[in-house]
Chains A and B, each alone.
Chain A
């Protein structure tokens, strides 16, 4: 039962991006079209599962004073494997994602979950938490990317959905969506929508992120 709760709360109620404001960099930067967003989500979920499991298994062995360095090293090893894997099997996507796969290391969701959850919980709970947070991240990333690709190019996964005006159709693509700043607007409006629907989530939601930062500052 507990495992199930760890799995479901991060999906919306404690969503890492819109509520805890963690892991934004990549969410904003790779959301221009759907395909890289899907690969990025898969990469983040696998790294998160690996790091939460490893940290949780080793939590009694890690000395308090150097735990952050150890956690970062575990995460970095996971990211290297994923990075090489993407380079080998999806070289085109790897070009598009450029440095952002490497930047999963500094994605605050991963260190945040390792620090805030896996250090105190067993492997099974930690895996559930990792999956929940990873999917919560993926939901936002994929919906932003789908919206941007559809509005900016009239396509989804490179398949034309809305016929473009250039090609004799009726849809005039919205160039704004192809620029990086549009991701901010979309997430801004998304947060507005979520908070208007669920009134409990006002700025109290800023707390967990601040907590992570303070915890790191305490080192």
Chain B
């Protein structure tokens, strides 16, 4: 259990995908003008990340990894080079299925989150999560923790940033810096605050 929490906290704070690895920045900057939309996108990221990282982990362990096909008597094959195209396919499919299911069973949720879901196919934080999972040899349990933690971390980062940005609208900024330029500098400061969390762990 401590392991689970540690992997999760690590993914959420120490190696925050948005602020430490700088992933998913396009969406991060484009959809952070209002806190409500940021929360919507954040929840969508948590859902998709918690779903796709373990799913990709299963596919990698049983089909793609070197020697993974030994259960089918094909131990000599190494399909790991296919991981990029398979992962992006799994992500696109999960996003689509999630959208259909939401529409069917919870139209209200679909109305609030539905518009953000397709954006996530091209969000590097989602694909990045799956690739880091492979790079670090996470098992299934770890990858659930990692998916959940990194999703929560990304959501937290974008909500924090949107809240700051709402306040910034009333501030007096030099011409040319307002908008995008200032957004970058604020994200940089936010990212600096996160470097202070290095080494965080539960024992």
Contacts and interface: CB of A to CB of B under 8 A. Distances in A.
Interface residues of B, number: 52
Contacts, number: 152
Q: What is the predominant secondary structure among interface residues of chain A facing chain B?
A: helix
Interface string A60-102: 0000000011001100110110011000000000000011001
Contacts of B66: none
B135 A203 contact: no
Interface stretch (B3-11, B49-57, B116-124, B144-152): B116-124
A189 B181 contact: yes
Q: What is the predominant secondary structure among interface residues of chain B facing chain A?
A: helix
B82 interface: yes
A185 B179 contact: no
A99 B128 contact: yes
A73 B86 CA distance: 9
Interface in A109-152: 111
B27 interface: yes
Contact of A180 (B20, B175, B180): B20
Interface string B34-78: 000000000000000000000000000000000000000000000
Given A28-B25, A69-B92, A79 B188 contact: no
Contact of B85 (A22, A80, A205): A80
Contact of A181 (B30, B81, B175, B189): B189
Contact of A188 (B23, B25, B182): B182
A187 B188 CA distance: 10
A156 to B, nearest CB: 23
Interface of B: 19-27, 29-31, 81-85, 88-89, 92, 115-116, 118-119, 121-124, 126-128, 131-132, 135, 174-185, 187-189, 191-192, 195
